[in-house]
Amino acid sequence: MKSAEIREAFLRFFEEQGHTRVASSSLIPGNDPTLLFTNAGMNQFKDCFLGQEKRAYTRATSSQKCVRAGGKNSDLENVGYTARHHTFFEMLGNFSFGDYFKKDAITFAWTFLTGVLKLPKEKLWVTVYATDDEAYDIWTKEIGVPVERMIRIGDNKGAPYASDNFWTMGDTGPCGPCTEIFYDHGADIWGGPPGSPEEDGDRYIEIWNNVFMQFNRTADGVLHPLPAPSVDTGMGLERISAVMQHVHSNYEIDLFTNLLSASAAAIGCANDNQSSLKVVSDHIRSCGFLIADGVLPSNEGRGYVLRRIIRRACRHGNKLGATGSFFYKIVAALVAEMGDAFPELKQQQANIERVLKAEEEQFSKTLEHGLKILEQDLAELKGSVVPGDVVFKLYDTYGFPMDLTADIARERELTVDEAGFEREMQAQRVRARSASSFGLDYNTLVKVDVATQFTGYQATVGSAKIVAIYKDGKSVDVLNEGEEAVVVLDQTPFYAESGGQVGDCGFLSSTSGRFEVRDTTKTGGAFLHHGVLVLGNLTVGAPVDTQVDADVRHATALNHSATHLLHAALRQVLGEHVQQKGSLVDSQRLRFDFSHFEAIKPEQIKALEDIVNAEIRKNSPVETEETDIETAKNKGAMALFGEKYGDEVRVLSMGGSFSVELCGGIHANRTGDIGLLKIISEGGVASGVRRIEAVTGAAALAYLNAAEEQLKEAAGLVKGSRDNLIDKLSAVLERNRALEKQLEQLQAKAASAAGDDLSAQALDVKGVKVLAVRLDGQDGKALLALVDQLKNKLGRAVILLGGVHEEKVVLVAGVTKDLTGQLKAGDLMKQAAAAVGGKGGGRPDMAQGGGVDAGALDAALALTVPFVEAGI
Ligand code: SER
């Protein structure tokens, strides 16, 4: 059975059991700061397990893209060396949100494996959490798995609930005991059953994990029961494919065959089962999918993990003899293999290739640089062991892998201090964990257990009831004048910050008090009105009138709609690789960050403005439609990476199909309301990310008016008008050039006259004319010209001219050619410049210099005669 057929059979089986088929979510977890990458099928359902989100269904099934590299559950270091670890894999799953529990979950899994896939029962082994008698009994008594193939696993990872059979998504959040199903690949492969000392071998491979989600773990380690016991299961598609395709390594399945040969071809090596080739063909999948989902290599967070994976791939390619960039060349094979199931790969192919190629090229420079540093360190090395901190510095600062350092050391009969390196690594891991926002406690983010109804799409005013007040993070009943607080209402027209659009401001008023809302945010289902009580008092339970500042809201809405138009125009003008990387929409302006590799040219800026303004002038209605995510995607709606979308999504269209995006924001009624869009800046914010800022409506008009004022002022300065400003300015510049020329001529004349006067002052020292004169106010260029002239006039001569110009001492020395054998202008200059606290030098016949000590200038000039006397 091909992998695609297994995927389909799984999803269909669970659909037949009443499950809703849900599409894979992005690899960037939606609005979840606790998680680096989507690492399990359950991620997108986390809030359903916690009871904070209700969906139209209580049973779901999916095939989820997962990355396990970096953060908890990282498999990176194992990849390539075992038959079953990957940085990227697909996880088939079935989920129950307070619907069925252990008995059905176990029965479904067993029926699918033995009934649909027809796996021999005697090949299947089962583990349960040590104390989970209920699961143990279901397996042994109802399903009939013999006790010899049942294994109880306790807390085998050194702490309570730290167990292979207790699954947690992160340090906090939903978790529970699990039962895992293993497949025995046969006695010819080394390894023992789970729990045995040989369990790390490849013989018994876990194929399916059924988690009984029962608890929410808080940071203090306490397990709080979930509102309803639930089920989360995960079966790696690659592992079950290996079983079904009668191979024991995942790298032998259909999904990998072509990738391995494409990797070998790109590297230019044989395709014969080397670990490094497996590393490369695994890593192209995670890198390709991560870039397609909007991650770019960088030095922090997700981008850093991506960078590490790319570098690991490059290094293994180099080990196999690759010269030059090779990794990006495998993208085409990845797209051919998986592009049908994941169209984002096809759409992003060119972008993925470009990002990988650029990163490979940068890494090769890094390696070169690291090698130089290593050479220096080795030159200074005492003894025969390269210290751990040196190895770590190379690794951490220059991306120089330890085994490469070890290789080079070996060639010189040196060793590396691996233990010392490991200690530094460990210290860095601790630093990284404490600095990482991904360690956030999920539970501290969810304190308010209220669902506010949002009425703001239709209205900016209304009435509501206060359901909670928080002062300094604590719930209070009464708020007094002057106090700052967060007020939660049962319903509100205030838009809460999201999707880049800032929260609304305005007022909440009651008969007893007036609260100024300065910002609105959202946590779970609750809208938080942040502000200050400017008058009287407010109590929980009291009715209030709600009033959004409609002018601010209106200006913000125009900017938001314009952002969508700009996004669509960017894709038209620059290409489909443009992805939103961030946006900020407020009443003053819009800011849009997006992926693109070079500065935007002025003609492209103009094209963008033209396209957007043409859409504005069409004045088409801004349309919204509530639908499901699949229908929305089929309509071509652009979904944003890192945004979480529920079952029901809001599709916002402008100009028919010109711009179709998923968006919950507030928008103009018609595109014409925007009035005008004017781009005011363009620049880079990070590697491969550009930023455009623009203004719309009244702000755009104000911007143009200000420009017009400047134009008028400029015209006034040249006594012209905006119509003839260019002519006037050209004339002024022309005249300026002519005057500069005239000035130069006059200066030359003046210098020549001065030269005539000066030559008369020359002394005769042993038959040499010596002239040392102070001329303040002349720049170096003028003095040079003068020295030249004087040399011609005086014949056999040594000249030093010096003066103060713009508060600095300027010196020029000249020696006629016939004397340069004995006297060098550069030598004279060295002495003179040193005397004025500066430096100088030049050719034997002409030298220049300067200094700062104007008081010493005369003494410096007086050095000339002794210089000549000494040299002749
Ligand atoms: N969340 C569990 C796992 O990842 C089951 O899907 O193993």
Give how far Cα 52 sits from Cα of 49, 139, 379, 608, 654, Å.
8, 32, 61, 42, 33
Mean pLDDT of 800-810: 93
From the CB of 43, is ligand 1 less than 6 Å away?
A: no
Q: What is the pLDDT of residues 449-467, one digit of tens each?
A: 678 999 999 899 999 999 9
In this model, does residue 444 exceed pLDDT 50? no
In this model, does residue 694 exceed pLDDT 90? yes
- Is 577 annotated in a binding site? The answer is no
In this model, does residue 643 exceed pLDDT 80? no
Q: What is the pLDDT of residues 348-395, one digit of tens each?
A: 999 999 999 999 998 888 777 887 888 888 888 888 999 998 898 888
Whether this model's pTM surpasses 0.75: no
What radius of gyration do the chain's Cα atoms show? 38
- Is 287 annotated in a binding site? The answer is no
Contact status, residue 113 vs residue 244, Cβ threshold 8 Å: no
Report the DSSP pairing between strands 474-476 and 461-471. antiparallel
Token pair of 703 as six digits? 């911007």
Please identify, by atom number, the ligand 1 atom nearest to the C-alpha of residue 169: 1
Return the residue matching tokens 């005008």: 676
Q: What is the pLDDT of residues 478-490, one digit of tens each?
A: 999 999 999 999 9
Domains and CATH numbers, the chain: 3-252 (3.30.930.10), 272-434 (no CATH), 442-461+473-538 (2.40.30), 553-705 (3.30.980.10), 757-871 (3.10.310.40)
From the CB of 798, is ligand 1 less than 6 Å away?
A: no
Share of the chain above pLDDT 70, in %: 96
The DSSP code for 147 is G
**Residue of the CA atom closest to atom 1 of ligand 1:** 40
In this model, does residue 430 exceed pLDDT 70? no
Q: What is the pLDDT of residues 603-636, one digit of tens each?
A: 999 999 999 999 999 999 999 999 888 788 888 8
From the CB of 66, is ligand 1 less than 6 Å away?
A: no
In this model, does residue 436 exceed pLDDT 60? no
Give the residue among 287, 300, 293, 298 at the shortest CA–CA distance from 326.
287
Instruction: Place 438 in a pLDDT band, splitting at 50, 70 and 90.
Output: very low
Mean pLDDT of 557-583: 94
* pLDDT of amino acid 71: 63
537 in helix, strand or coil? strand
Return the residue matching tokens 């508060």: 807
Contact status, residue 79 vs residue 37, Cβ threshold 8 Å: no
Mean pLDDT of the chain: 90
* pLDDT of amino acid 402: 77
In this model, does residue 440 exceed pLDDT 60? no
| Half-sphere CA count of 632, side-chain side, radius 13 A | 25
In this model, does residue 301 exceed pLDDT 60? yes
In this model, does residue 429 exceed pLDDT 80? no
Taking residue 77's Cβ as centre, other Cβ atoms within 10 Å add up to 10
Share of the chain above pLDDT 90, in %: 68
Among 86, 167, 180, 239, the mutation site with the greatest number of ligand 1 atoms within 8 A of its Cβ is 167
* pLDDT of amino acid 431: 61
Please say whether the dihedral angle defined by the alpha carbons of residues 591, 492, 29 and 170, taken in this order, is positive or negative.
Answer: positive
Token pair of 568 as six digits? 């669509």
290 in helix, strand or coil? helix
Mean pLDDT of 64-82: 79
Beta bridge partners of 167: 176
* Cα distance between residue 466 and residue 538, in whole Å: 9
Among 42, 182, 205, the mutation site with the greatest number of ligand 1 atoms within 8 A of its Cβ is 42
Distance between Cα 234 and ligand 1 center (Å):
5
* pLDDT of amino acid 425: 80
Q: What is the pLDDT of residues 309-341, one digit of tens each?
A: 998 899 889 889 998 899 999 999 999 999 999
* pLDDT of amino acid 30: 78
Taking residue 412's Cβ as centre, other Cβ atoms within 10 Å add up to 10
Contact status, residue 801 vs residue 812, Cβ threshold 8 Å: yes
In this model, does residue 687 exceed pLDDT 80? no
